Amino acid sequence: MNEIHVLMTLAGIHFLALMSPGPDFALVVQNSTRYGRQTGILIAFGLSIGILTHSILSLTGVSYLVHLHPQLFFVVQLLGGSYLAYLGISGLKSLLMRAKGAPVSTPKSKDFTLKSKKQAFTRGFTTNLLNPKALVFFISLMSTLVPQSMSLEGKFAALFILWSLAFFWFALLAWALSTQRLQSALARYSSYIDLVCCILFTILGCTIIGEAVLHTLT
């Protein structure tokens, strides 16, 4: 298989994975519908940089070394699962307080809302980078489809494809969800969208933590 076919196959598999529901998808949906296009695109950029980082770490073998050592991978799982669970539980607390008519931010609770452009980018980047399932996916993808014998230009092309497709898809999703017509239609359902996304984050986070703990006990 020549490099062009490798890159085309890589692009196809990666794009299909991007379209599948997960924490990245939920993050864009939740924040684009609530905060608008600019925030959604900044989150998309953060997610794409996270994907680029995973791709580089997998291509250089760093991710494989982490996955090879159970203790290191356990730490990654705990960090990633805890972060996703934190997003979900913080969001559920804020929704509950909003439903009661109480102020969302109190001295005893942290607000999960986004307050700046930098925070939007950081949340996208962190959500993807700390996802241990993304780490495993890119190890499998890069080790299977990008041989060590591939030229340096081919490897750079692979990294560009993975980054650009991710940014294109999530930015397109953010743009579509933040059009004026769709924003008006979704405005009445924003709390329900938040609820579904927060539940998803909580379930995914707790599942990752549970899998990590069970694996260490077996």
| 14 is a domain residue | no
Q: Which structural domain, as residue segments, surrounds residue 206?
A: 3-8+24-217
| 94 is a domain residue | yes
- Please tell me the total count of domains within the chain: 1
Question: Does residue 132 contact residue 80 with C-beta atoms inside 8 Å?
Answer: yes
Model pLDDT for residues 170-207, shown as the tens digit of each residue = 999 999 988 877 777 777 777 888 889 899 999 999 99
Angle at 104 between CA 98 and CA 110, to 5 degrees: 135
| 110 is a domain residue | yes
Q: Backbone phi, then psi, for 209, in 5-degree steps?
A: -65, -45
| 17 is a domain residue | no
- pLDDT above 70 as % of the chain: 93
- Of 62, 61, 48, nearest to 160 by C-alpha is 48
What average pLDDT does this structure show over 141-163?
89
| 154 is a domain residue | yes
What average pLDDT does this structure show over 127-136?
91
Residue 115's pLDDT band, with cuts at 50, 70 and 90, is low
Q: Backbone phi, then psi, for 109, in 5-degree steps?
A: -140, 145
pLDDT tops 70 at residue 2: yes
